[in-house]
Amino acid sequence: MDNLRGISKLKQVLINDKHFNPMRLNDILKSEIYNVLKNYMEITKDDIITKIDIEADGTYVLRCKAKCSRIKILGIIPS
């Protein structure tokens, strides 16, 4: 039971870390976007630029720019 509480506490710390550290959240989003795009195009992490902005009304805007050298031929989606 203590192990479950420890895991729950760790998850909460990680969630709080994302909320209070915009640069960390930006890095996580960039990594996640890269992991999706690499399945469909020849791309490196350096080919992706992400930025999180906060609007005056408190909403968040994710800006993402990605460039690739080529699109992969889609036949079978990699598993």
Residue 47 · residue 40 · CB < 8 Å: no
pLDDT (mean) for 45-73: 89
pLDDT (mean) for 44-51: 95
Mean pLDDT of the chain: 81
Q: Which amino acid is at 14?
A: L
CA distance 47 to 11: 30
- Which three-class secondary structure string do you get for the chain? CHHHHHHHHHHHHHHHHHHHCHHHHHHHHHHHHHHHHCCCEECCHHHEEEEEEECCCCCEEEEEEECCCEECCCCCCCC
The pLDDT score that the predictor gives to residue 22 is 72
Give residue limits of the domains in the chain: 2-71
pLDDT (mean) for 70-74: 86
pLDDT (mean) for 34-52: 94
Q: What is the pLDDT of residues 2-38, one digit of tens each?
A: 667 776 776 666 666 555 567 888 899 999 999 999 9
